[in-house]
Each structure stands twice: as structure tokens, then as C-alpha cells.
Amino acid sequence: MDITLQVNGLPRTVDVDPRMSLLDLLRERLGLIGSKKGCDHGQCGACTVLVDGRRANSCLALAVAMDGSEITTVEGLANGDELHPLQAAFIEHDAFQCGYCTPGQLCSAAGMLGEPGPSAVTPDVLVDPDLTPEEIRERMSGNLCRCGAYVNIVSAIAEVAR
């Protein structure tokens, strides 16, 4: 089936097998290897991209169902040579080791910063909370990091959130 997506600002029209995930479309057909496959079941977050500005697990999205969507991957975060503040902060805070979860962490953090409202640890759901380390940790828990870089990931995001 033919579908058209905006990927990192560029229109892409692709003929896809309905079985193909958005993640496989990005990685195998569009050569955008930044989005990672860690589990293929929405359990690790390595595939996180922004779909119409909101973070989503691209492994659980069928490419056909994304027709007409605007996709931002980690390759689209920087402004030319100028890194996105999250990317720069991740480098400065050593917020990654192997780097495999990193694109998903970055896209997730970029989406998360645009998600006000309460989280599971917010004391009062009526009040939009400040992004304390505890709030960041809860909101970033959909992105597993087996190297255990969470402490640095949280400090990197906290710096950008300030």
C-alpha cells in the first residue's frame, strides 16, 4: 500500500507491506537507523519517535496506520549542525554508555517536556507539577537503559527542563 509521511520535515511516499511497523519502515526502508529496535513489543522504548509531536513506540505502530502523519526521529532533533539542547546535555552529563537506548531516550524526553499535567507520582492531580527529578524519573520510565545511565539521564533532562 502507498502511504505518505512527513519524516523529519520531508515528505516520503513509500509502498509498504501492511505488516511493516513504522520502526521497520524507518530503519529498513528509509535508512533512518537512529530509531532502535530493542524489544519490538513496546516494552523498552528504544524505538520512541514523535508522531505528530507526541512520543510513541514506533514498533507498535503499523506503518499503514501512520499515513499522513508527521514523524520526528532522533535524526530530526538537531537543527543542522546545532544539537538539540537535550542532545548536548546528554553528552555533557554522560547520559548514555552503549548508546542503543539513547535515541529513544532523547525523543521520549523531547516529547515528555511537552506533556504538562500530572504523572503517577504527582501529589495532586489537579496541579501541573514542576519537573522534579522524581517526576522526570516516572515520566521517563518507558525508556529502559540496561547500562544503568538513569542517574545521568535524569540530570541531563533536568538541566534542559530548567
Partner 1 sequence: MKPFEYARAGSPSDAVRRFRPGTMYLGGGTNLVDLMRLGVARPERLVDVSRLPLDAIEPVGDRLRIGAAVRNSDLAADPLIRRRYPMLARAVLAGASGQVRNMATVAGNLLQRTRCAYFQDVSRPCNKRRPGSGCPAIEGDHSNLAVLGASDACVATHPSDLAVALAALEAEVHVTGPGGDRIIPMPGLHRLPGDAPERDTVLEPGDLITAVELPAPPPGASAYRKVRERASFAFALVSIAAVLDVRDGVVSGCRIALGSLAHAPWRAERAEQALIGGPATGEAFLEAAEAELAQARPLPRNAFKVPLARNLIVNTLEELAP
Partner 2 sequence: MNRVEGRVKVTGLATYAAEYPVEGVAHAYPVQSLIAKGRVARVDASQALDMPGVLGVLSVEDPPQLAPDADGELALFQSRDVAYRGQLIAAAVADTYENARAAADAVRVEYEPADHDVGLRADHPGLYRPEVVNPNYPADTEHGDVEAGLAEAATTVDVTYTTPVLHNNPMEPHAAVALWDAEGRLLVYNSTQGASPDRDTIAGTLGLPPSRVRVVARHVGGGFGCKGSTRPHAVLAALASRAVGRPVKVVLTRQQMFDVTGYRTPTIQRLRLGADAEGRLTALEHVAYEQSSTLVEFAEQTATPARTMYAAPALRTAHRLVRLDVATPSWMRAPGECPGMYALESALDELACAAGIDPVELRVRNEPETEPESGLPFSSRNLVACLREGARRFGWDRRDPEPGVRREGEWLVGTGVAASTYPARRRPSQAVATVRNGDFLIQVAAADIGTGARTVLTRIAAETLGVAPDRVHVELGDSDLPDAPVAGGSMGTASWGSAVVRACEELMKNGKEGRADTTDEVATDAELARHAFGAQFAEVRVSAVTGEVRVPRLLGVFAAGRILDAGLARSQFIGGMTMGLGMALMEETLTDEEFGGFLRRDLAQYHVPACADVADVEAVWLEEEDDALNPMGNKGIGEIGIVGTAAAIGNAVHHATGRRIRDLPITPAKILAPSP
Contact positions toward partner 1, by CB under 8 A? 1, 17-19, 21, 40-42, 45, 48, 51, 54-57, 59-62, 64-65, 67, 108, 111-112, 115-120, 122, 125-126, 137-144
The amino acid at residue 13 is T
Count of residues in contact with partner 2, rule CB under 8 A: 61
Q: Which residues contact 63 (CB under 8 A, 6 or more apart)?
A: 3, 14, 16, 20, 21, 22, 24, 25
Minimum CB–partner distance for residue 129 and partner 2 (Å): 15
41 binds partner 2 (CB under 8 A): yes
Q: Which residues contact 75 (CB under 8 A, 6 or more apart)?
A: 8, 32, 34
Minimum CB–partner distance for residue 15 and partner 1 (Å): 13
Q: Kind of pairing, strands 54-57 and 48-51?
A: antiparallel
48 binds, among partner 2, partner 1, none (CB under 5 to 8 A by kind): partner 1
**Can you tell me which residue has the cell 552503549?**
98
Task: Kindly indicate which of the ranges 50-58, 60-68, 72-80, 124-132 contains the residues binding partner 2, using the contact rule CB under 8 A.
Answer: 72-80
Q: Chain-centre distance of CA 120, in angstroms?
A: 20
Q: Closer CB to partner 2, residue 65 or residue 147? A: 147
Sheet holding 70-72, edge to edge: 10-15, 2-7, 70-72, 48-51, 54-57
Residues that bind partner 2 (CB under 8 A): 17, 19-20, 24, 27-28, 31-41, 43-44, 46, 73-75, 77-78, 83, 87, 90-92, 94, 96-103, 106, 121, 133-134, 136-138, 140-154
